[in-house]
Structure 1
Amino acid sequence: MNNPEIRLIKNKYIDYQKWDQCIAGSSIPLIYAQSWYLDLICPGWDALISGDYAFVMPLVHKRKLGMSFLLQPIYAQQQGIFPETDHTIQNAFLTTVRNRFKYVSINLNASHCEPFPEGFIVHTKENYILDLSPSNTELRNNYSKHTRRQLKKAEDSKVFIVKGLQTSEYFDLKNSAANGKLHQRSMQTLNRVMEYGHSKGNGVIYAAYNEHNMLCAAAFFIFAGQRVTYLNAVSTVEGKNSNAMHKIVDQFIQEHSGSALTLDFEGSVIPGIARFYKGFGAQAEQYYSLQSNRLPIPLRWFKR
């Protein structure tokens, strides 16, 4: 395929209907690339677009000291080019990115593959996803022995799950668990996503309580098409000791087993968290993180 014409389009000129149709046509229509979600996590986002929205790539960038930075926004694990494409188009987009921005740090979606254009430092990361189409019995049979033991402990601790916790209660719990040491801007972004999810009916909080009816853990799940993302979670010391989060995830899996959904755990580089996801039978999905640093030498080392 010939190199495509790629244009940088400012947010106010993006046709949201065509954009969302393009994302929906992808084999992995991730929530992180849908226009309503981008508006919530990074208002004013721009895009690279090829043709009549044949291929698109969301851009979250800023200027500092007169130089352009392209960054991965919070609460968006993967982005990149949509829909899936060949190397010619993939690398034409990425070359455009590197030429336009002095500093680049982005995560691509799982449809991208090597080789990438020269000039990028490439890191491999793992996401964990679980197909919920099997029966609950089949899904539970794939739990690890460790996960089954943790669930038994949760049951022995009389942990029980309730859906529908209010967003304000969720943030009270996070604030308490973190001793008030939360990053306010990121919490404001998360609050926007959660409030939107509640208002539109595509977001839900599962809350865990101990035998004394005290809230000890909670998790927020958000749905987009046939994919549901385990976007955020919190546990108190009591919740960790009673394995309340294992109980929350198990409850979610029970309620959605036999469906067409895929549960996206988002992955982690922390071994204990990765083990938690894998313990429910989730499968690893590889994606790439790309960095390019063309800042002036005095700043280049500072940003490494």
Structure 2
Amino acid sequence: MWTSYLVQRNELDDEVWDDFVAASPQQYLYYYTWYLDAACPGWHAIVVEENGKWVAVMPLPLRKKGGVMYAFQPPLTQFLGIIFCPAPMVRHSYYGFLKNATQKAIEALPPMAAFDMNLHPGIDYFLPFFWNKFTVQARFTYLLPLDGDFQSLQKNFSQNVARAVKKSQKDGVAVSLSSDETILLGLLRKEGIFDEMCADTFRRVWEKVRRSGNGFILHATVPEGKVSSATAFILDGGRAILYASASDRDRKNSGANALVVSEAIRRCCEIDGIRWLDCEGSMLEGVEQYFRSFNPVAKLYLNVQRLKYPLLYKLYRKLT
């Protein structure tokens, strides 16, 4: 028998939830309780059971304004949505399982004016969302496989990246390691990449990362002693995630950002168990072109939306 229900954060057992995430084929940083607590405090969740066993969960960052409830993708969280337990089945049974679990999760959603969520890249079965009047759109991210030594990977960088790295090294730009987010946050705010909400989210997430030791920040410093570029990386389940990055526009031609990413790739190649660098990609043409220059693999993921009041959705999007 299939059942599904909505639960509040304080009704969830952290160990049970995190064990489910760790065993899921869609295991990822964004689904663990510690991350959700930092990125969207007070989150809810939908749990789907088959014969009393958890088979799917969906973190739900519910918010309410003016008596209207909605769920949007949390700040600094590339994807979220439903994830499943391992289901080793023949294909027709597997898709039947995904259909039932996704449909039950949708049935448990509370009445909302807007739902806007990116699904895990490993999920390509979206028909229950389509049948329930959700709009489904394709998006792309980039993953760099770290399946060789750094020198082999470096040979496949674009000429623009290779020139930028060479120029920055020739000009005396130095890359250093840090765990302190202060300089990076300053650049992110200065360049208008983060508003105060994103900055607060980053501080909460990075406090957890720093305590666990599962992340690092790289600074690129020009000879005058000024940090011109900084990037934060989080290590998670065999991958390094490029979590936030900013460069000083006054020194945008220094090549410092390319040097930072290149150095991060080199470091990740030397860390046991890290097999991928998640560049997080972008739907912005200029940003997409930059990440593509490091020769990653393009990975499609899906955005699902259901908007009861489209104009109200646009207003709330500006406020959140």
| CA–CA distance in structure 2, aligned partners of residues 108 and 25 of structure 1 | 18
162-171 or 269-278: bigger deviation: 162-171
2:283 corresponds to which of 269, 284, 292: 269
| CA–CA distance in structure 2, aligned partners of residues 93 and 289 of structure 1 | 19
1:108 corresponds to which of 97, 115, 119: 119
Cα displacement (A) at 1:80: 1.4
1:25 corresponds to which of 20, 23, 36: 23
Cα displacement (A) at 1:99: 6.1
SS in 1 for 2:281: coil
Identity value in percent: 25
Provide TM-score, normalisation by structure 1.
Answer: 0.90
2:41 corresponds to which of 37, 40, 43: 43
Amino acid in structure 2 at the alignment position of 1:66: G
In the alignment, structure 1 residue 117 sits paired with structure 2 residue 115: no
In the alignment, structure 1 residue 189 sits paired with structure 2 residue 201: yes
- C-alpha change, 1:28 and 1:132, in structure 2 (3 Å) is farther
Amino acid in structure 1 at the alignment position of 2:255: N
Cα displacement (A) at 1:165: 5.1
> After TM superposition, where is structure 1 displaced by more than 6 Å over at least 4 residues in a row?
300-304
| CA–CA distance in structure 2, aligned partners of residues 143 and 239 of structure 1 | 22
CA RMSD for the aligned pairs?
A: 2.4
- After superposition, residues 1-304 of structure 1 pair within 5 angstroms as 4-51=2-49, 52-83=53-84, 86=95, 87-93=98-104, 95-96=106-107, 100-113=111-124, 114-115=126-127, 116-118=129-131, 119-164=133-178, 166-178=180-192, 182-257=194-269, 259-261=272-274, 262-295=276-309, 299=312
SS in 1 for 2:210: helix
SS in 1 for 2:83: coil
Q: Which residue of 1 aligns with 2:92?
A: none
69-78 or 255-264: bigger deviation: 255-264
- C-alpha change, 1:102 and 1:174, in structure 2 (3 Å) is closer
In structure 1, runs of 5+ residues without a counterpart are: none
271-280 or 87-96: bigger deviation: 87-96
Cα displacement (A) at 1:253: 0.7
Provide TM-score, normalisation by structure 2.
Answer: 0.85
Q: In the comparison of the two structures, how many residue pairs are matched? A: 299
Deviations 1:3-55 (A, max 9, x none): x3111111111111111111111223111111100011111111011123321
- C-alpha change, 1:89 and 1:249, in structure 2 (3 Å) is farther
Deviations 1:267-296 (A, max 9, x none): 10111211111111111110111111124x
Cα displacement (A) at 1:111: 2.0
SS in 1 for 2:289: helix
Report if aligned partners of 2:4, 2:105 keep a CA contact under 8 Å in 1. no
| CA–CA distance in structure 1, aligned partners of residues 105 and 48 of structure 2 | 13
In structure 2, runs of 5+ residues without a counterpart are: 88-94
SS in 1 for 2:54: coil
